[in-house]
Amino acid sequence: MQHSDIVSSSQQKPFGKRNYPLNCWWVAAFADEIGRKPLARWLLDTPVVLYRSEAGEIIALEDRCPHRQAPLSAGKIEGDAIECAYHGFRFGAGGRCLKVPSMVSPPPIKVESYPVREIGPIVWIYLGDVERIDAVPPPPVMEWMTDPAFVIRKGMMEIAANYLLLKENVLDLTHLGYVHAASFGIMDWVNPPTVTTEGDTVTYTQSFVRSPLAAGYAMSLGLEPGTPWNRHGFGTFLSPAAHESGTIFFDPDQPDVPNGRTFFAHLTTPTDSGNMLYFFVAARDYANDAAAMDHFAQILLRGFKEDEEILCKVQALSTRQPRRGSQGERSVKADAAGVAARRIVDRWMARETIVD
C-alpha cells in the first residue's frame, strides 16, 4: 500500500513473548510505599521484595528463598535482614544468607539483590545484566517533582495491558476528543503534532493559539470556559520506563510569559508482557492549593481510568485473537511519535546480550 499518510508498522509482539528490555531502570514503587514491612511486587516477570533497612536504605531482593522457593515477602524483617517464613533462613541487605537455624554457621548461598535508586518520590530498580549497568542510561531525573514551586499528586494503577499500549497512548493525544471527551473535555487536539526524534528519545510538541479553553483548564486559570487562550503542549519518551509531558499556558496578549505550568510523568513497569504497573505523577506551579490539586487529581484519575478501559479492551482483543495474516496495524501521521517509540524500544532490546 502506497500512501504518504500511512505507515505500515510492525504490530505488537505476541502475548507471552518478552516485549520489554531488561537492561533498563524501571520504577519499582513510590518511595513512600516502602518501609519496614516487606512489599511484594512482580516486576519484569520477576518476584521482588522491597523494604527499608534500619537506616532507611531501600533493599530489593528476589522474592524467592533459594532453599525451597517460598516468597521472602511472606516472612518478616529482622534488623536489616529478611527472614523466610518457611524455615527461618535469613538474608541480609546484599542478599547473602546470614543464618540457617539448623546450622552453626550460614552456608554460602544467596538471593539475588537488585540495585535501586531513590530519586524524589520515585524508586527505580535495575533487574538486568549487572555487568552492563554502567552502559545503561541512568534513571531520568524530572526536577519539577522536587521543585518547591510545584505541588504534586501521584497514583498507581495495575493495568491488564502491555506497557507499550500506554506508551502509544501518551504519545498520540488525538485520542483526547474521543476517550476523554467527558472527563478532560479537551476537544482541540485534532492535528498531528510536530515530532522530533533525537537519539533514543522522541518528543512531540503542539501549540494552540487563542484556542478555547476546556472547562478544567479554564477553572484552574480562573477564566471562563471557552476563553481563547494560548498553550503549548509537549511530551517526551525518555526511556522504555518513562514518559514526561506538560502543558504551559500563556495569556494571548502576553504570549511570552507563562501563566501556569502542568507537568506529568507517565511511568510504566511491565509485570509481564501483557500487564503493567502504571505510576503517574502530576504537578502544577499554579492553582496548586490542596483543594485545587485534589480536584485536579480527581479529574486525572477519571481520565486515566478511561485510558485503562480502552487499553484493556485492546489487550484482551489482541490476546484472544491476534490479527490473522501478515497485515500489521495501520498507522497515520498522528502516530509518528508512537511508532518512533516502538523503534526505540526495539533498539533497547537489540542491545541486550542477555539470552532468555
Shortest reach from residue 152's CB to a copy of itself, in Å = 29
Helix or strand run (H / E) with residue 313: helix 290-320
Beta bridge partners of 281: 154, 265
Beta carbon nearer to a copy of itself, 282 or 334: 334
Count of positions (residues) in the chain: 356
Shortest reach from residue 15's CB to a copy of itself, in Å = 12
Beta carbon nearer to a copy of itself, 188 or 251: 188
Beta carbon nearer to a copy of itself, 191 or 254: 191
Beta carbon nearer to a copy of itself, 46 or 197: 46
Q: Which residues are CB-contacts of 10 (< 8 A; sequence separation ≥ 6)?
A: 328, 342
- How many Å apart are CA 240 and CA 168, to the nearest integer? 11
State whether the Cα torsion 101-102-106-110 is positive or negative. Answer: negative
- How many Å apart are CA 193 and CA 246, to the nearest integer? 14
To the nearest 10 degrees (0 to 180), the angle between helices 336-351 and 163-171 is 140
Q: What is the DSSP string of 43-90?
A: ETTEEEEEEE-TTS-EEEEESS-TTT---GGGSEEETTEEE-TTT--E
Beta carbon nearer to a copy of itself, 70 or 287: 70
Q: Which residues are CB-contacts of 47 (< 8 A; sequence separation ≥ 6)?
A: 40, 41, 62, 63, 64, 71, 73
Shortest reach from residue 220's CB to a copy of itself, in Å = 26
Q: Which residues bind a copy of itself (CB under 8 A)?
A: 1, 3, 5-6, 12, 42, 45-47, 63-64, 66-71, 74, 83-88, 100-103, 107-109, 168, 172, 174-175, 177-179, 190-192, 310, 313-314, 317-318, 320-321, 323, 327, 329-335
Shortest reach from residue 314's CB to a copy of itself, in Å = 5
Burial of 47 (0-12, 13-18, 19+ CB in 10 A): middle
Shortest reach from residue 356's CB to a copy of itself, in Å = 8
Tell me if residue 100 falls in helix, strand or coil: coil
Shortest reach from residue 100's CB to a copy of itself, in Å = 6
Beta carbon nearer to a copy of itself, 200 or 335: 335
Beta carbon nearer to a copy of itself, 172 or 244: 172
Beta carbon nearer to a copy of itself, 63 or 244: 63
Shortest reach from residue 109's CB to a copy of itself, in Å = 5
Shortest reach from residue 257's CB to a copy of itself, in Å = 30
Shortest reach from residue 301's CB to a copy of itself, in Å = 19
Tell me if residue 138 falls in helix, strand or coil: coil
Beta carbon nearer to a copy of itself, 272 or 288: 272
Q: How many Å separate Cα 97 from the centre of its chain?
A: 33
* Residue written as grid cell 497515520: 332
